[in-house]
Amino acid sequence: MFEQLKTVYLQFRETFLRFDKRKRFIVAGTAFGTLFLLIGVILISSKKDYRVLYSQLNPQEAGTIVEKLKTDKISYKLMAGGTTILVPGKKVYGERIALANQGLPSQGGVGYEIFDKNNIGATDFVQRVNYQRALEGELARTISSLHEVKRARVHLVLPNESLFVKDQKPTTASITLQLNPFNKLSSQQVRGIANLVSSSVEGLHPKNITIIDSYGNILSKMLENDDSMGLTASQITIQKKVEDYYTKKVQSLMETAVGQGNAIVRVTADLDFNKVQKTFEKYNPDTTVLRSEETNYQLTAGDTANGSGGKVENHIRNYEINKTVQNVVQAVGNIRRLSVAVMVDGSYKTIKGKNGKPIRQYVPRSAEEMRKLSGVVKSAIGFDAKRHDNINVVNVAFDRSLMENEQAAFAAAGKHAFWADIIRKALYGLSILIGLFGLMKIIRSFKMEIRPLKDAELPFGDAEIAHEIPIETQKKIQIQQKVASLTNENPNGAAKLLKAWLVDEAEEKNV
């Protein structure tokens, strides 16, 4: 095996030394380029594919997970300031399961698993503190499960029970929320978090809960029991919904009639949010009903012989008049008045300007067309003159200079991108062609044209023996004929070439 390698090496060295400097440089560059390419491919193929194990970790959680990875002898990388941990892609899911079995990441602190360990010698104070820690951790985990919340911290103040009610201190809580980017909590969500915590802690009232975000903004202000403010927010929401409903309704009709982008609609709704309860009592004197009747008898004293004594009878009748009682509760949010403003663009025609260039000329709409459009708007909103509804439809020329400039900029950018793509592809193609041309030139420099010998060129008289001559012998005969031809044509050049060969051969022997 060694002898074969040595023979191959000597043959390669002999062939390489026969080349001139240009060919030696080309062969060496090609060899080194191929070697570097193979090394690069090997390095890329052997490079580990790291993937995210956990992200958005706090420093404490990240440190605990890193220690666990070091113990398991698993390579890792830290990114995003140490809050993101990457491990080889093949081990991501296995490590997540292994870390989850150990309660990592903690997701808001320790929970009820703190009681999994048997602390026989723990005092009542330690048990109480552990219970508070567990309760805070479980609440933080629950709050962190919300889509908008990235991380939560809960702090509880659980006062000791007092013998006297007046001396009992209230239970309080404070919650810090770190929200995900571009997310915010609505008032209903903040109220839900407060009710969740208050229902989980004995004696905790929602008004004793303070909620802030990571920027120090107090979110629990939304929980203040202010009926007027709550009603105002509800009114604004209802009013906006009514205005949006009528705006979309009119906008769709106008754009169908005059074209998209040629009409702008704004609606203002005045709603009645007064809660009115009315009671009506109606009496009908024509219909009476006997309710009660009373008869009283009274004896009077007198001369019995003369017959002046007697009995007095009194009748008392009570009648009930027919009465109707009606309670009416007026609905909240009735429409008092609607005000609609509609701006309609005119039409345009293209004419030639003074310099011969085409320009757009504005053509206003006719009065009859505007009257029809006003009628369409009235029908769409259910116009009521008794409510004093106001409809105003005007025809104005829209300022489209900004839109036209943007369209021109987009067109220019598109054209620039198109030609840039064409030029880039042309350069790629030209580079490929140049590379192929150079490669063909290099190949041709090494290739010696070998053609079969013709019958006239054979040194033998019989052409039948041409097929019996070996190819190597034909090559040598052809080379000899070429050297003889060049010597006859250019004897001076042949002498110089022979002299140069002799010098090179002498130098090689001296070496």
Same structural domain, 284 and 351: no
Residue 215 vs residues 126, 150, 212: alpha-carbon distances, Å: 33, 14, 8
- How many folded domains does the chain comprise? 5
Supply angle C-alpha 28, 31, 35, rounded to 5: 140
Among candidate residues 162, 195, 224, the one where a domain is terminated:
224
Same structural domain, 259 and 390: yes
Same structural domain, 147 and 215: yes
Three-state SS at 324: strand
Same structural domain, 337 and 256: yes
Query: Is residue 216 assigned to a domain?
Result: yes
Query: Is residue 474 assigned to a domain?
Result: no
Reply yes or no on whether the pLDDT at 450 is more than 50. Answer: no
Query: Is residue 471 assigned to a domain?
Result: no
CATH code where residue 127 lies: 3.30.300.30
Same structural domain, 396 and 249: yes
pLDDT value at residue 267: 94
Task: Name the pTM for this structure.
Answer: 0.41
Same structural domain, 325 and 337: no
Query: Is residue 319 assigned to a domain?
Result: yes
Same structural domain, 376 and 254: yes
Among candidate residues 402, 431, 451, the one where a domain is terminated:
402
pLDDT value at residue 102: 73
Query: Is residue 499 assigned to a domain?
Result: no
Query: Is residue 311 assigned to a domain?
Result: yes
Same structural domain, 182 and 299: no
Euclidean distance between CA atoms 350 and 357, whole angstroms: 10
Supply angle C-alpha 374, 375, 376, rounded to 5: 90
pLDDT value at residue 237: 81
Reply yes or no on whether the pLDDT at 359 is more than 60. Answer: yes
pLDDT value at residue 289: 72
Average pLDDT over residues 168-180: 90
Same structural domain, 74 and 183: no
CATH code where residue 389 lies: 3.30.300
Average pLDDT over residues 109-120: 72
| Residue 381: how many other CB atoms lie within 10 Å | 20
Query: Is residue 305 assigned to a domain?
Result: yes
Query: Is residue 425 assigned to a domain?
Result: no
Tens-digit pLDDT profile for residues 1-35? 667 767 766 776 777 676 677 777 777 777 777 77
Same structural domain, 294 and 360: no
Supply angle C-alpha 501, 506, 508, rounded to 5: 95
Identify whether the C-beta of residue 48 lies closer than 8 Å to the C-beta of residue 21.
no
Range of the domain at 323: 277-329
CATH code where residue 89 lies: 3.30.70
Tens-digit pLDDT profile for residues 289-342? 777 777 777 766 655 555 555 667 777 777 777 777 777 777 777 888 999 999
Same structural domain, 355 and 368: yes
By DSSP bridging, strand 334-344 and strand 390-395 are parallel
Same structural domain, 156 and 264: no
Identify whether the C-beta of residue 234 lies closer than 8 Å to the C-beta of residue 361.
no
Among candidate residues 387, 402, 417, the one where a domain is terminated:
402
